Chains A and B, each alone.
Chain A
Amino acid sequence: MTFNRRTFLGTSAAAAVLAAPMVKAAGHGKPRVVVVGGGAGGATAARYVAKDSNGEIDVMLIEPTRTYYTCFFSNLYIGGFKDIGDLGHSYGGLAAGGVNVVHDWAIGVDRDAKTVSLAGGHTVPYDKLILSPGIDFVEGAVEGWDLSAQNAMPHAYKAGSQSELLKAQVMAMPEGGTYAMVAPPNPYRCPPGPYERVSMVAHYLKANNPTAKIIVADPKPKFSKMSLFQEGWGNHYEGMVDWIGEEFGGGAVSVDPGAMTVTIDGEETKVDVCNVIPAMKAGRIAELAGVTDGNWAPVNAADMSTKADADIYVLGDASQQGDMPKSGYSANSQAKVCANAVRGALTGSKVFPAKFSNTCWSLIAANDGVKVGATYEATDEKIAKVDGFISETGETSEVRKATYEESEGWYTGITTDMLG
């Protein structure tokens, strides 16, 4: 099949293309894009703007850590299916791909001057600013817990040292000990994440400490893939997991990190590990930039620009966009729509209509993978769900194994797509 043999129908494809205004950099050379946060949203956006503009745009990524540990698959590390090294990725591929990677903290945004100030003392100018800072925790969300308690009661919801700490604590549990999780209220990063973690902790304990117990205090009446997880817990970890939902007081929780106790609906329990995952909000820089409303940054669905400032975009967990779950896959998907729009605005390249998708895979036990996914489109109000699917209960072990293998393929795919 060659091009010549086909009838060219360019206009029908082009009809969907929006007219892109040419907004060259004002009063300086190349247009400048600054990206804050090198996770699934920011790294992807930086890479795609640099890659697709072929050097026409200067791209700077500001990210404090030298090694990026993926939150996705960090539960598999806790379950013993991955090594911590498997989760760590360098930014070298982005640098080689033309992104100026600056390891520093962004501590302020001057929207009038269009500059970002860095903790190291520098101030960097931008034409377009993409913020992808992930999540921070809402202070005082869990009574008795604050940042000073995160060693005694780790959240492990930003991957890396916290993941290692939580795993070490699980491994050190006494025989027949108790692991407690304080689950977060909606909306939060990675909806199936806490329950995949419960599965992975149970997997470890079943093999190494089979009389141990897991208690989950949950402020929600239901959770992502609930029937799949509950089926899996019954099949693999019978009697080990006690999930206390909203109606049984799962939302009335306080902790005492000194005494290692958790009080759920007035009943105090001494525990050996306490994994506190507090309520979340957009990473702090979004608030400092003045683009948040409440805990999150409202954005326009067509290009991820903020409602507050057309030159500032917010991606991923920090954004309030509509129907997409806060996930690495979503952030990666949003980043590509945003990169296309930013490039169009700065260089006049074609801007194509927004299309988004997401799939979340979770591992319940060895070779027992499940998934949920959906496609989304941009409407005037929000990113709206178009179509979706979810794994079914009672699937064959072959299907579940294939789903897990697919998730491993996805991991390689998305990390390559983000970081080059």
Chain B
Amino acid sequence: MRRSAILPTLCVLAISVGSALGETADIAAGEKVFQQCSGCHQVGADAQHRIGPHLNGLFGRPAASHAGFRYSKSFERAGTNGLEWHADTLDAFLENPRAMASGTRMSFGGLKDDTARINLIAYLRTFSDDPANIPEADPTALAASHDIDPEILALVGDPDYGQYLSGECTTCHQASGGDDGIPSIVYWPEEDFVVVMHAYKNKQRPHPVMQMIAGRLGDEEIAALAAYFAKIED
């Protein structure tokens, strides 16, 4: 009887940890990966804000929450909308920073190698002040890939359809590109538009209205909107 109660728990642990930290995470390798970041970010004893904020105590902290650092508008919005740094959100952000915060000033294209990301996250995790504060339920990494299927990116949007669908956007987002209170969505590179909409659709990027609107748009519809807004004439 006892065994049957324990077994399922062990299985769950094996999946969530085994695929990420337990077997594959290599903190020393993560330190090497961090060299790519260290031009802008410091971590560890005496770490200061540089071009980017210092990364001590990152886990469980809301995005854009260092009072002494000037974040991009885009990152501040992400923080207000509820983005917090955990292994899963860091994983998504490191893989494709623009998907999480379109206007981030972090000029880094993303770390596409899953193992490198897992190692880097494991390394950063050693600098959270008190690892005991990391919630048990906080997954250490996600096995899922956040990058969009190349077939979705390859879709050619129908701008006429996009024009019709855009009516749902222009109730709030001005077709002129005005951005008081609500960001501009015009003249974006189509790929950026598609990546961001899928990040809302997959609920990686927080914001209830956008998750709802993007949530029911199909791949072709997102491509159509991207095509229309990329070349909108107003």
Residues in chain A within 8 A of chain B (CB atoms):
1, 3, 5-10, 12-14, 17, 48, 52, 329, 332-333, 336-337, 340, 350, 352, 355, 357, 359, 371, 373-375, 386-389, 398-399, 402, 405-410, 412-414, 416-417
Partner of A350, one of B160, B176, B220: B160
- Complex Cα–Cα for A134 and B36 (A): 60
**25 pairs across A/B with beta carbons < 8 Å?**
A1-B191, A7-B155, A8-B156, A9-B220, A14-B158, A17-B161, A48-B167, A329-B171, A332-B171, A340-B167, A357-B168, A359-B172, A373-B212, A375-B213, A387-B216, A389-B208, A406-B181, A408-B180, A408-B181, A409-B180, A409-B181, A410-B172, A410-B181, A413-B172, A417-B174
A12 to chain B: which residues have CB within 8 Å?
220
In contact, B209 and A373 (Cβ under 8 angstroms): yes
Instruction: Add 20 more A-B contacts to A371-B209, A389-B212, A412-B181 (CB < 8 A).
Output: A1-B190, A7-B156, A8-B156, A9-B156, A13-B224, A336-B167, A355-B165, A355-B168, A373-B209, A375-B215, A387-B216, A402-B80, A406-B181, A407-B181, A408-B181, A410-B181, A410-B182, A412-B182, A413-B170, A416-B170
In contact, B216 and A5 (Cβ under 8 angstroms): no
Nearest CB in chain A: distance from B184 CB, A: 10
- Most B CB contacts (10 A, CB to CB) among A337, A340, A388, A417 go to A417
For the residues of B in contact with A, the DSSP-based class is helix
**B49 near A: Cβ within 8 Å?**
no
B180 to chain A: which residues have CB within 8 Å?
408-409, 412
- Most B CB contacts (10 A, CB to CB) among A5, A17, A413, A414 go to A413
Nearest CB in chain A: distance from B72 CB, A: 15
- Complex Cα–Cα for A333 and B170 (A): 10
A402 to chain B: which residues have CB within 8 Å?
77, 80-81
Interface residues of B, count at CB 8 A: 44
Within 8 A of A (CB), among B79-138: 80-82
- Complex Cα–Cα for A374 and B211 (A): 11
In contact, A406 and B182 (Cβ under 8 angstroms): yes
User: What 8 A-B pairs are tightest by C-beta distance, nearest first?
Assistant: A409-B181, A409-B182, A336-B167, A6-B156, A389-B208, A1-B191, A413-B172, A408-B181
